[in-house]
Structure 1
């Protein structure tokens, strides 16, 4: 059964960087079976109704400003997979989750920056999925769980976001990690490895420095979605964790 994954996508410039985290992403394809398709929840696609991409061919969305010119020339011309989009919508319906299809939207940087590092040839069909910050954490988990059957079909489920993501607290000259960011991620690590969903669903009340780490939830949600997809086996493994700018977390979690 294909594991599901959470990948932090960091700043858009991650696709140009050379560090331990990008090295892990670049080596992923060589060390893991090639999936039949990729289903990816991006923190940068927010909708109040669960939306399933159904594009035949994706455009590349440059949903950022002030970065290197090279980024605005990059493309990720992935193909869609309409039968898989329809299957995903059917799975959502079976679990009482309303959803709609979107045939027009391209891939935002939360999707293509990660995918360009992991599968640079863009030769695997992609289905992008939206996130909704207005649902409960239990509902987020259930959305991921609704898609768990896809793992048996060699479909790779990815949540792309960030566990500590507070742009107002970034320190562009930092050489180390802020204590508060590390404390939050340490708490999160212990609860994920124990598969303590009761605590995780209440992380805002229980985790240290949660308000600083997660001022808005859209980047945290993909973690719960990817975790939900691993509900059948309930094994969480931290593959990498590092930080940029003092507290922007770059982490990779595997759920299998």
Structure 2
């Protein structure tokens, strides 16, 4: 069965960078069976209602400013998959989450920034999904559980976010990780490996440096959804961890 992934998307510059994480993303995909389709949930598509893309061919949105001109030349013209979009609607309805199709939504950098590195040919049908920060974490996890059966059909599910992702704290000239960021990452790792959902759902109140690491939870939610897709086996593997700018974590988790 296809595993699912949680991947940090870093800054928009990730799409242009050459570092240990971008090398991992490129090489790891070579070890995996090629997916029949991709479903990606990005922290940068927030919506109160659950939205599901239903486009024929994807355009991209440059949801940032102040970066080199080169990054604004990146496109990701993967085709959509209306059949898959409709199936997701059905799966979510079973857990009383009413989805809505969006026929115009372009891919944001939380989606195309990763996919551009992982599958540069853009030849895999792709469906993007929004996240709703107002939903409690147990419901986010249920969304993952509902999507799980897609993995049986060789669909790769990716949650795109960040576990230490606070741009007000980054140190652009700092090349070692700060202790507080490492401590938060270690706490998250311990709870994931123990599949301690109660602690993860309450991370804001009990995790060390949670406010510094995750100032707003939209970047943490894709991790919870990705974990939900692995609920049957509850088997997790940390595939990669590195840091940029002193505390911006680049992590990759696999859930089977």
Q: Structure 1-normalised TM-score?
A: 0.99
Structure 2 counterpart of 1:99: 99
Partner deviation per Cα, 1:174-204 (whole Å, 9 max, x = no partner): 1211111110000000000111111111111
Per-residue deviation, 1:205: 1.1
Partner deviation per Cα, 1:206-231 (whole Å, 9 max, x = no partner): 11000111110111111001111111
Q: Please list, as runs of the form range in 1=range in 2, the aligned pairs for 1:90-129 lying within 5 A after superposition.
A: 90-129=90-129
Distance in 2, Cα, partners of 1:133 & 1:92? 16
Structure 2 counterpart of 1:11: 11
Q: Which moved more, 1:25-34 or 1:82-91?
A: 25-34
Runs of 4 or more above 6 Å deviation: none
Q: Please list, as runs of the form range in 1=range in 2, the aligned pairs for 1:152-191 lying within 5 A after superposition.
A: 152-191=152-191
Q: Which moved more, 1:22-31 or 1:41-50?
A: 22-31
Structure 2 counterpart of 1:217: 217
Distance in 2, Cα, partners of 1:236 & 1:30? 20
Q: Please list, as runs of the form range in 1=range in 2, the aligned pairs for 1:5-84 lying within 5 A after superposition.
A: 5-84=5-84
SS in 2 for 1:168: coil
Per-residue deviation, 1:29: 2.3
Distance in 1, Cα, partners of 2:237 & 2:206? 22
SS in 2 for 1:92: helix
Provide the alpha-carbon RMSD of the alignment: 0.7
Count of matched residue pairs: 256
Distance in 2, Cα, partners of 1:109 & 1:96? 29
SS in 2 for 1:147: helix
SS in 1 for 2:208: coil
Q: Are 2:248 and 1:245 aligned?
A: no
Unaligned ranges ≥5, structure 2: none
Distance in 2, Cα, partners of 1:175 & 1:57? 39
Per-residue deviation, 1:135: 1.1
Unaligned ranges ≥5, structure 1: none
Distance in 1, Cα, partners of 2:59 & 2:187? 38
SS in 2 for 1:170: coil
Q: Structure 2-normalised TM-score?
A: 0.99
Distance in 1, Cα, partners of 2:52 & 2:46? 12
Q: Are 2:212 and 1:229 aligned?
A: no
Per-residue deviation, 1:28: 2.3
